[in-house]
Amino acid sequence: MDLLIEVFNSIIVLEPDNETYYFDKANAFLIAGNQAEAIKIYEVMEKKFGQSPQLLQARQRVVFEGKNAPGNAEVEALIKSDPNDITNYLYLSKMLVQKNNAIEAIALLLKAKEKLQSRYELNLALADIYRAQKNKGLLFTELKEAFNDPAMPVEKKVKIVWGMLGSFNDPDIKRTATELAALIVASHPGDAKALSLYGDVFYRQGSLREAQRQYSAALKLSDQIYPAWEQLMNILITLGDYKEAVKRGDEALSIYPNQAILYYYQAFAQHRDGANDAAISNIRFALQLDADNKQLQAMILALQGEIFIDQNKLSAADDALAKAVILDPENYMIINNYAYYLAIRNQDLNKAATMIAKAAVAVPEDRSVAHTYSVILFKQAKYDQAKSWIEKALQNNSEPDPVYIEHLGDVLYQQGNKEQALIAWERSRSAGNTSEKLMKKINEKKYFK
């Protein structure tokens, strides 16, 4: 800091009539916590340049810093120095809040709104106070007023709504964020980032189709918004629109060829669309990128294992899945899939049971994990435990799952409850299961592997 002050001293010697450098030197002292020296510089400036609104504001701010709260006379003096300068109101309200005088700060800002015919900066200052007071009604009112001010930069609007996305468990915040995002898009229909944010808002609410439309619209305006590409691919895969995902993945990779997650999404979509050779090729690219991201590498290897199973390359599949579990031992979806594949092949059942038991403890409400645990226990002829876990899987399902119900019938049959087993198999058929194996079980009233 001493060096910076010396620099300003040198500049002032060269340009003694430029008051900007005096302000800069005073600010340097203030940053260093030396208010006394800053005040001395202001005194020199008054003698040399005379009094000015800027100098008065600077001196008053230094004085306020050392007081419990700015007094009415001091507030009036600073505002009187330039009653149309919004920075005075904003600064004084901030000082009042810092001195635990929010009521006076609100009154000052409301007065400023009347005098200056409202300004978005005043709305935001009031919103900050209401947020601290947990007054959501007035907070949201001020934010909406600010967003309706054409002078408010779109970047500020986007930043505010973005900050609300993590609080969508609060229905009031979710509703207001949606309204504010709509205001941004209405005011800035040609802003790609605004449309992308609108997509984020819908995505957080689970409105995937609407989110897809907003991301697509944003990318049509600008293909340089990487997060929108990633979210769009995620949505298309979640919705099972694999052909469109492959198409959009090609576009994304032509712009961002070094993003491992895009290769993963592309490979996933290709695999589900039946193009396993192309998927394996993209997996190779994905594995070469972002090598330090163990969670992503584990997901890529797990997908590779799934494809190898489809290609009947079981040894390679085991190797890929085992590596995936080692890389991310807390990814219970990967553990579940690996354990299930081992179970349906009657291979390493003890290993599968150990893995799925860990997952069942970690995510006891996960119906897929409960089903896999039941399948493994069934393979181990532990029918009582298998029944308990398939019942948990069914309890955690919002709608009847025909596969789970069929498995319940299998367990009941092996327990000797043949009549109940037949009832379960028939329930499975009623729920939409039309597999030949199920039909054979029902027709012959017996279990078949």
Cα–chain center distance at 366: 22
pLDDT for the residue numbered 369: 97
CA distance 198 to 75: 41
CA distance 28 to 235: 51
pLDDT for the residue numbered 65: 63
Q: Which residue has the tokens 């609410």?
A: 205
* Residue type for position 285: F
pLDDT for the residue numbered 85: 79
Q: And the tokens for 448?
A: 């078949």
pLDDT for the residue numbered 37: 87
**Coil, helix or strand at residue 148:** coil
Residue 316: burial class (beta carbons within 10 Å; 0-12, 13-18, 19+): middle
Q: Give pLDDT tens digits along the chain (449 positions).
A: 577 888 888 888 888 899 898 988 888 888 887 888 888 898 898 888 887 877 877 876 776 665 555 555 666 676 777 778 787 788 888 888 888 889 989 999 999 998 887 789 999 999 999 999 999 999 999 999 999 999 999 999 999 999 999 999 999 999 999 999 999 999 999 999 999 999 999 999 999 999 999 999 999 999 999 999 999 999 999 999 999 999 999 999 999 999 999 999 999 999 999 999 999 999 999 999 988 999 999 999 999 999 999 999 999 999 999 999 999 999 999 999 999 999 999 999 999 999 999 999 999 999 999 999 999 999 999 999 999 999 999 998 778 899 999 999 999 999 999 999 999 999 999 999 999 999 999 999 999 88
Question: Helix 171-187 vs helix 154-164: angle between axes, to the nearest 10 degrees?
Answer: 160
CA distance 287 to 371: 31
Question: Helix 242-255 vs helix 260-272: angle between axes, to the nearest 10 degrees?
Answer: 150
B/e letters for 279-310, b = 16+ CB within 10 Å, e = fewer, are bbebbebbbebbeeeeebbbbbbbbbbbbbbe
Supply the DSSP string of 93-109, one letter for each residue. HHHHHHTT-HHHHHHHH
Residue 115: burial class (beta carbons within 10 Å; 0-12, 13-18, 19+): middle
Who's near 442: CB < 8 A, 6+ residues apart?
A: 422, 425, 426, 429
Cα–chain center distance at 144: 23
Question: Helix 72-81 vs helix 86-98: angle between axes, to the nearest 10 degrees?
Answer: 160
Q: Which residue has the tokens 């031992």?
A: 329
> Among 74, 130, 78, 124, which Cα is nearest to 102's?
130
CA distance 309 to 443: 32
B/e letters for 423-444, b = 16+ CB within 10 Å, e = fewer, are ebbebbbeeebeeeebeebbee
CA distance 46 to 52: 8
CA distance 371 to 254: 41
CA distance 10 to 18: 13
Does the pTM surpass 0.85? The reply is: no
CA distance 76 to 61: 13
Query: Is there a contact between 119 and 149 (Cβ–Cβ < 8 Å)?
Result: yes
* Residue type for position 123: N
Instruction: Indicate the Cα dihedral angle 366, 368, 373, 377, nearest 10°.
Output: 140
Who's near 328: CB < 8 A, 6+ residues apart?
A: 294, 295, 297, 298, 299, 334
Query: Is there a contact between 348 and 380 (Cβ–Cβ < 8 Å)?
Result: no
Supply the DSSP string of 262-294, one letter for each residue. HHHHHHHHHHHTT-HHHHHHHHHHHHHS-TT-H
